[in-house]
Amino acid sequence: MGSTKDIRAAVQAELAFDPLVDATDITVRNMNGEVALNGTVPSYPQYLEAAAAARRVAGVKNVHNHLAVVLPERDYRDDAWLTTAANNALTLNVTVPDGVEATARDGNLTLTGMAEFARQREAAEGAVAGLPGVRHVKDEIGLFYDADPVDVTGLV
């Protein structure tokens, strides 16, 4: 476990090393292993990857991702286009259950519907995360269970 300065420097180095992240506008703060990422990135996949890169650093206990996605002009999409593209991507992904839908507002996608497994929720986010125009994905997909928790406790 390194000092606060060492962890901060290691996170900055990891961000600079990661080819999937443009760390130019990212600042790193560290307080006893609680790392905060502040600044901007040009895409939602970079937002996700920056947090993943910070988590890979030894001594990091938690990552608070406060990065804002500021899309380049060429990546802007209006709400109707983005909603249609996201719903097409969800439909084409065989892992995403029927009934999961997306709506867009200012580049922020909200996913709704029901899934049986958490991996299906993750597949839904993965299906739309890389679309041009996405600034953030909010997952409101519910999970349903075939077993009543009381029955599961009784079987143990």
Q: Does a structural domain hold residue 11?
A: yes
CATH number at residue 127: 3.30.1340.30
**pLDDT given for residue 148 in this prediction:** 57
> Is residue 57 domain-shared with residue 102, that is, in the same domain?
no
Structural element, H or E, at residue 140 = strand 136-143
What lies within 8 Å, CB to CB, of 41 at 6+ separation is 21, 22, 25, 26, 47, 50, 67, 68, 69, 70
**pLDDT given for residue 144 in this prediction:** 84
Output the six-digit token pair for 51: 């947090």
Q: Does a structural domain hold residue 152?
A: no
Total domains in the chain come to 2
Domain boundary among 69, 97, 121: 69
pLDDT in tens, the chain (156 residues): 456 679 999 999 999 999 999 999 999 999 999 999 999 999 999 999 999 999 999 999 999 999 999 999 999 999 999 999 999 999 999 999 999 999 999 999 999 999 999 999 999 999 999 999 999 999 999 998 665 555 555 555
Structural element, H or E, at residue 10 = helix 4-17
> Is residue 31 domain-shared with residue 84, that is, in the same domain?
no
3-state secondary structure (DSSP) of residue 63: strand
Domain boundary among 50, 69, 88: 69
**pLDDT given for residue 155 in this prediction:** 53
Q: Give the domain range for residue 123.
A: 74-143
> Is residue 43 domain-shared with residue 78, that is, in the same domain?
no
> Is residue 64 domain-shared with residue 85, that is, in the same domain?
no
**pLDDT given for residue 5 in this prediction:** 77
Output the six-digit token pair for 81: 């286009």
Domain boundary among 69, 94, 114: 69
- Which residue shows structure tokens 């990135």? 41
Q: What is the pTM of this model?
A: 0.82
**pLDDT given for residue 127 in this prediction:** 97
